[in-house]
Amino acid sequence: MERIFIEKTESTPLVDFDFEKGVFLLKGESYPENVSSFYGEIFEKLEVFVRESEDRDISVEIELIYFNSSSVKAIMNFLDMMEELANNGNKVTINWLYEADDETIMEFGEEFSEDLESVEFHLKEI
């Protein structure tokens, strides 16, 4: 599958999904005007990848410094897909990065991780 690479803007994150390597990166801020038009197409491709992958190492790095409430749903959908990948026999590692003084982002990481069982989830201070 072709790599997805989208440069970050003021209100949308850098998205770098390298399907061949199994490395996914989300970095920046997320408060787009329309969450589904930004994430919709990206997630459609990801769904195909989830269906087709087994026995792979998947490494995910999420470094979001701010996201609005509508983006939370999108992030959760993304994490659900990672959980599904892990349940399908892939080894999925997620690093959730947060700035040292940023309790909000750290707490979000904690809350998201409560719903993940098969994924290896690390909270990391940067």
Q: For the purposes of burial, counting CB atoms within 10 Å of the CB of 39, is it exposed (0-12), middle (13-18) or buried (19 or more)?
A: buried
One residue of 6, 18, 31, 59 binding other proteins per CB under 8 A: 31
64-91 burial, b at 16+ Cβ within 10 Å, e below that, comes to beebeebbeebbeebbebbbbbbebebe
For the beta carbon of residue 59, count every other beta carbon within 10 angstroms. Answer: 16
Least distance in angstroms from the C-beta of 105 to other proteins = 9
Least distance in angstroms from the C-beta of 69 to other proteins = 4
Least distance in angstroms from the C-beta of 19 to other proteins = 21
Least distance in angstroms from the C-beta of 57 to other proteins = 28
26, two tokens: 């989300």
Q: Which of the residues 10 through 29 are near other proteins (CB under 8 A)? A: 10-11
Residue nearer to other proteins on the CB measure, 74 or 119 = 74
Report the run of H or E that residue 33 belongs to, with start and end.
none
Q: Which residues bind other proteins (CB under 8 A)?
A: 10-11, 31-33, 35-36, 39-40, 43, 66, 68-70, 72-74, 76-77, 101-104, 111
